[in-house]
Amino acid sequence: MADNKPILIALGIALIALIGASVYYFSSPRVEPVVEATQISIPEPESVAVLPEPEAEPERAPLLVDEIEPLPEAPLAIMEEPEPAEPDFVLPLLNSSDALIRDGLISLSRHEGINRWVSVSQLIRKFVGFTNAVANGEVVKEPLQVLGPIGSFKALKLSNDRYLMGRGSFERYSMFVEIFVSLDSQRVAELYVLILPLLEQAYTELGNDDGSFNAVLFKAVGRLLETPVVEGDIGLVRPVVMYHYTDPTLEALSPAQKQLVRMGPANTRRLQSKMSDIAGQLRKILN
């Protein structure tokens, strides 16, 4: 019913108009026309406009399915599966890190003596303990027992309490120096950065919470690089058991620096050169 509402409204308007016209026609005064007997005029009917019939739409030819050329099929996009991302390297626990450190250190040198260095356990803790001691000017002997020189210290007696350091004692450290200078400096620095979280953990275990282990390492290296290279004879005294340097400048050195002097000038120079090279490579990576 709602759909026919506009039609009803139109019919209503037309009906009102028709009623209005009828009222107007019948209520107006009528005037009779004078008709002559001899002449009657018949009005011609008004021409009625004839609307042309709508032309029939031409019949459309039936659409044949066979006549339609199929659209070229778009090639299916081949979705290549992304290559799995390589997992980040995961460090082992500190207590289980010896295998990693051994493999890493052995790969840094072609010297067969490197196997002796890595034969101990708790490598990271011992390295951190030794480095921390050197930074403080001390020497921790226990971590260095396996790296200790072969043979005993020799001194040439001059008088009852005067001695000269025997140059033959320098050769006791030659193996240690040969292994150390054979290390690949750049790869040593890269290994250090890789295991730095473990080094930090071992450093914290010592009760240190005053900064990064990097500062401790560079401080230790700095101390050893400041050690003088003594080319001439080194005088000693032996008041009780231990030898002391007769030169007050040498005697004022830290225990770690005194140990480096005992290695002799050639070994000291080679060690300092290698330490400087490794420290330089490490600074490049850390900076």
| Whole-prediction pTM | 0.67
- Separation CA 234–CA 243 (nearest Å): 11
> Which amino acid, residue 134?
V
The two structure tokens encoding residue 74: 């778009």
Question: Over its length of 287 residues, how does the chain's per-residue pLDDT go in tens digits?
Answer: 444 444 434 444 444 443 333 333 333 444 344 444 444 444 454 544 455 555 555 555 554 545 555 555 655 556 666 665 555 678 999 999 999 999 999 999 999 989 888 888 999 999 999 999 999 998 877 655 666 677 888 899 998 889 999 988 899 999 989 999 999 999 999 999 999 999 999 999 999 877 789 999 999 999 999 999 999 999 999 888 889 999 999 999 999 999 999 999 999 999 999 999 999 999 999 98
- Separation CA 12–CA 24 (nearest Å): 18
Is 271 exposed, middle or buried (CB count within 10 Å of its CB: 0-12, 13-18, 19+)? Answer: buried
| Nearest partner of 98 among 122, 117, 80, judged by Cα | 122
| Nearest partner of 201 among 88, 95, 89, 286, judged by Cα | 95
Beta bridge partners of 145: none
State the maximum Cα–Cα separation within the chain, in Å, rounded to a whole number.
188
The two structure tokens encoding residue 207: 């009760």
Query: Residues with Cβ < 8 Å from 238, sequence gap 6 or more?
Result: 155, 161, 163, 244
Q: How far is CA 194 from the centre of its chain?
A: 13
Residue whose tokens read 């000038």: 265
The two structure tokens encoding residue 88: 């980040």
The pLDDT of residue 273 is: 97
Is 175 exposed, middle or buried (CB count within 10 Å of its CB: 0-12, 13-18, 19+)? Answer: middle
In the DSSP assignment, the letter for residue 245 is E
